[in-house]
Amino acid sequence: MNTGSDKRGEAALTADRADRREGAATGGTADRGREERALGSRAPQFIRARRGLHLSWQVGVFVTGLAVVVAGVIMLPLPGPGWVVIFAGMAIWGTEFAWAQLVLRWTKRKVTEAAQRALDPKVRRRNIILTSVGLVVAAVLAGIYLYRYGLVMPWKIKDQ
């Protein structure tokens, strides 16, 4: 490996440690005693040992991850699991790049925190009330529309 990638890996590891300390200081779930994998390439040793092969491996991983992320971005406005596919692309990148591993760790931590907050009884009660109010408003608006314009089935629309 070259010294540039070693320095980037060390910087990413230092940033991750600082992020975990911050999470522990604020009462977050970042560091609960579980062992996290070290940042960096997960390529087999024989690939990492050869600079040219490792570089082509990284290019392949990047292009594959990019294709998956682009497919996920395309799925955001179209039917399909856009965010799931985007995170799958990030996971592909995470097999080789420290920055993607840090993004995935941060995302996992935030999702876990949001899930814990959502399970709080006060938050659940508020969410149920807001959902009920939203459904009532939608039903009233639908009733007003139907009262004003009526219900016409598509097969009974007359050509003009």
Q: How far apart are the first and last CA of the chain?
A: 73
Give the pLDDT confidence score for residue 20 in this predicted structure.
Answer: 52
> Burial level of 98, CB count in 10 A (0-12/13-18/19+)?
buried
Q: Using the 8-state DSSP alphabet, how is residue 96 labeled? A: T
Q: Using the 8-state DSSP alphabet, how is residue 34 labeled? A: P
Residue 109 · residue 28 · CB < 8 Å: yes
CA distance 8 to 86: 24
Closest CA relative to residue 60, chosen from 46, 43, 74, 38: 43
Closest CA relative to residue 83, chosen from 66, 96, 100, 71: 71
pLDDT per position in the chain (160 positions), as tens?
444 445 444 544 555 555 555 444 444 444 444 556 677 677 677 777 778 887 888 888 899 999 999 999 999 888 888 888 998 998 888 888 888 888 888 988 998 998 888 788 888 889 899 999 999 999 999 999 998 888 877 676 665 4
Give the pLDDT confidence score for residue 129 in this predicted structure.
Answer: 94
Query: Tokens standing for 151?
Result: 């219900």
Rg of the chain over CA atoms, in angstroms?
24
H-run or E-run covering 102: helix 98-118
**Which residue stretches of the chain are H helix?**
3-25, 45-48, 51-75, 82-94, 98-118, 121-149
Query: Which single residue is written with the structure tokens 């965010």?
Result: 83
CA 156 to chain centre: 45
pLDDT, tens digit, 9 for 90 and up, residues 120-154: 888 888 989 999 999 999 999 999 999 888 887 76
CA 157 to chain centre: 44
CA 158 to chain centre: 47
Give the pLDDT confidence score for residue 36 in this predicted structure.
Answer: 63
Q: Is the pTM of this model over 0.85?
A: no
> In the chain, what are the domain boundaries?
3-121
